[in-house]
């Protein structure tokens, strides 16, 4: 009878947290690119803070929020390199989100997908 023994050391918490940070950045960046596309195609309008209303939340973005997001996107591009930020196939997108969800086992609620 052939017996095989296989063991794998668990990942260290620091490794998991670093991976979660990277996955979160990449998922956020992809969503940010979608936002930028929706702005370019006129689906979302840029408004000043004083003209923003919660009822228009899905169709508008405050200029200051967008400016901050653009700065954040540039930091992500510098950190990972633009070639490592997509665009993702549906399979790759699923792997990113699945990996992020699997890493949540370190204590967050299962439905916490705050990216």
For residue 87, say if its preceding peptide bond is cis, omega within 30 degrees of 0: yes
95, 78, 16, 91: CA torsion to nearest 10: 0
| Helix (H/G/I), strand (E/B), else coil: 96 | helix
Query: What burial class does residue 23 get, using C-beta atoms within 10 Å of its C-beta: 0-12 exposed, 13-18 middle, 19+ buried?
Result: buried
In tens, the pLDDT along 4-36 reads 887 878 778 898 889 889 999 999 999 999 999
Helix (H, G, I), strand (E, B) or coil at 86: coil
- Residue 107 DSSP symbol: T
The tens digit of pLDDT for each residue in 45-73 reads 999 999 888 888 889 999 999 999 999 99
């Amino acid at each position: 009878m052939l017996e095989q023994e296989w063991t794998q050391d668990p990942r260290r918490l620091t490794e998991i947290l670093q991976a979660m940070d990277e996955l979160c950045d990449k998922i956020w960046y992809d969503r940010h690119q979608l936002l930028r596309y929706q702005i370019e195609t006129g689906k979302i309008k840029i408004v000043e803070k004083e003209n923003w209303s919660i009822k228009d939340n899905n169709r508008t973005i405050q200029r200051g929020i967008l400016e901050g997001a653009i700065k954040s996107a540039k930091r992500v591009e510098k950190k990972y390199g633009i070639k490592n930020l997509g665009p993702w196939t549906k399979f790759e997108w699923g792997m990113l989100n699945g990996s992020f969800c699997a890493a949540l086992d370190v204590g967050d609620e299962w439905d916490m997908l705050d990216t």
